[in-house]
């Protein structure tokens, strides 16, 4: 296949949706890493007042319908939402119906999967290793960097992949909070949905579904290779 003619294979509509989806999932999962790892560690290793509450908040999106999440995000971050004074201060209209809204939707929906996987892998590490490292002169940061994190790496990687996959498929929260705007917030699932609404576009929807399945399979394959090599 001659890739220089790929534009004949895919329409601009399809290419835009694929690239946007990759971008949204990539940015949201990259933003999730510095949040999910410390959060997973804290939930696994620390006991403190309010831990239960924090846990409930972090894991809530797992059990909420995505549309509800989109609604809450809109309520918080929309133009006249709770954070509107902040938007006024910054001279913007809020984040709703922008690229960043799509990223935030993905982030919120995929975060619990990431955190859960990271927490589970910290739970699996014998705290004895960390205590031993301390007696060998390592401060907390060194213990985390050289013992806890490397030992938790398989869980971190699989959490990363899960979060990416979940972002890749995110629909409900995105359409509610970010809308369905071509080139801006119309990710692959939204593009599939739109094509299905238009008579005669069934083939486009079918092509996008195939691509969606292909990318999901590729992600799973890569993650398995990664986990095996750790």
Partner 1 sequence: MNVLDVDIKYKVGQFKGNYRFAISHGVTGIWGPSGHGKTTLIQLISGLLKPAQGTISVRGKVVVDRNQHIFVPPHHRNIGVVFQEARLFPHLSVKKNLLYGMPNKTPCHISLNDVVEVLGLNALLDQMPGQCSGGEKQRVAIGRALLSQPELLLLDEPFSALDKQLKLKAINFIRKVIRKFDIPVVIISHDIADILNLTRHMLLIKQGKVEIEGDFSELLLQGYFEGSAFSNSFVNDLQFTIVSEEAAGNYKVKLQGTGHIYYLHSETKQLCAGDHIDAFLRPEDIAVATHRVNGISMQNQLEATVLEIYTDKNYAFCLLDVGTELLVQITRDSADRLNIRKNQAVYALFKSSALTMYDDSLRMSRMG
According to DSSP, residue 184 is labeled: T
The reply to whether 135 sits near partner 1 by the rule CB under 8 A is yes
Give the per-residue contact string, 145-164, with partner 1 (x = CB under 8 A; - = no): -xx--xx-------------
| Cβ proximity to partner 1, 100 vs 122, nearer residue | 122
Answer yes or no: are the C-beta atoms of 152 and 70 closer than 8 Å: no
Cα–Cα distance for residue pair 118/54, rounded to 1 Å: 16
- Interface of this chain with partner 1, residues 191 to 220, rule: CB under 8 A: none
Q: Which of 103, 107, 108, 133 binds partner 1 (CB under 8 A)?
A: 133
137-151 residues labelled b (16+ CB within 10 A) or e (exposed):
ebeeeebbeebbbeb
User: Which residue is associated with the tokens 């092509």?
Assistant: 207
Q: Which span sits near partner 1 by CB under 8 A: 9-17, 126-134, 157-165, 173-181?
A: 126-134
According to DSSP, residue 201 is labeled: -
| Cβ proximity to partner 1, 93 vs 123, nearer residue | 123
The reply to whether 136 sits near partner 1 by the rule CB under 8 A is yes
Give the per-residue contact string, 165-194, with partner 1 (x = CB under 8 A; - = no): ------------------------------
The reply to whether 38 sits near partner 1 by the rule CB under 8 A is no
Q: Which span sits near partner 1 by CB under 8 A: 9-17, 61-69, 123-131, 177-185?
A: 123-131
| Cβ proximity to partner 1, 38 vs 150, nearer residue | 150
The reply to whether 229 sits near partner 1 by the rule CB under 8 A is no
The reply to whether 132 sits near partner 1 by the rule CB under 8 A is yes
Q: Could you tell me the CA-to-CA distances from 121 to 1, 74, 125 in Å, in that order?
A: 43, 33, 7
Q: For residue 76, give the nearest of 183, 176, 180 by alpha carbon.
A: 176
Cα–Cα distance for residue pair 24/169, rounded to 1 Å: 11
User: Which residue is associated with the tokens 């984040």?
Assistant: 95
Cα–Cα distance for residue pair 162/156, rounded to 1 Å: 10
Q: Which span sits near partner 1 by CB under 8 A: 9-17, 78-86, 127-135, 217-225?
A: 127-135
**Total interface residues for partner 1 by CB under 8 A:** 16
Answer yes or no: are the C-beta atoms of 77 and 83 closer than 8 Å: yes
Task: Return residues touching partner 1 (CB under 8 A).
Answer: 126, 128-129, 131-139, 146-147, 150-151
């Amino acid at each position: 296949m001659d890739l220089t003619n790929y534009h004949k294979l895919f329409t601009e509509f399809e290419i835009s949706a694929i690239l946007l989806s990759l971008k949204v999932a990539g940015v949201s999962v990259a933003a999730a890493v510095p949040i999910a790892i410390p959060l997973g560690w804290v939930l696994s290793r620390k006991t403190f007042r309010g831990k239960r509450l924090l846990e409930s908040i972090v894991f809530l999106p797992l059990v909420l319908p995505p549309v509800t999440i989109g609604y809450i995000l809109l309520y918080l971050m929309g133009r006249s939402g709770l954070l509107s004074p902040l938007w006024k201060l910054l001279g913007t209209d809020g984040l709703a119906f922008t690229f960043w809204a799509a990223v935030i939707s993905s982030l919120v929906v995929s975060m619990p999967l990431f955190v859960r996987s990271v927490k589970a892998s910290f739970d699996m590490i014998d705290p004895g290793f960390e205590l031993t490292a301390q007696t060998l002169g390592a401060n907390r940061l060194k213990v985390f960097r050289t013992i806890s994190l490397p030992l938790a790496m398989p869980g971190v990687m699989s959490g990363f992949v899960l979060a990416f996959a979940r972002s890749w498929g995110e629909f409900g929260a995105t359409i509610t909070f970010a809308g369905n705007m071509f080139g801006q917030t119309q990710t692959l699932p939204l593009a599939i949905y739109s094509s299905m609404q238009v008579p005669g576009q069934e083939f486009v929807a079918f092509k996008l579904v195939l691509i969606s399945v292909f990318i999901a399979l590729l992600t799973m394959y890569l993650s398995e290779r990664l986990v095996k090599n750790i």
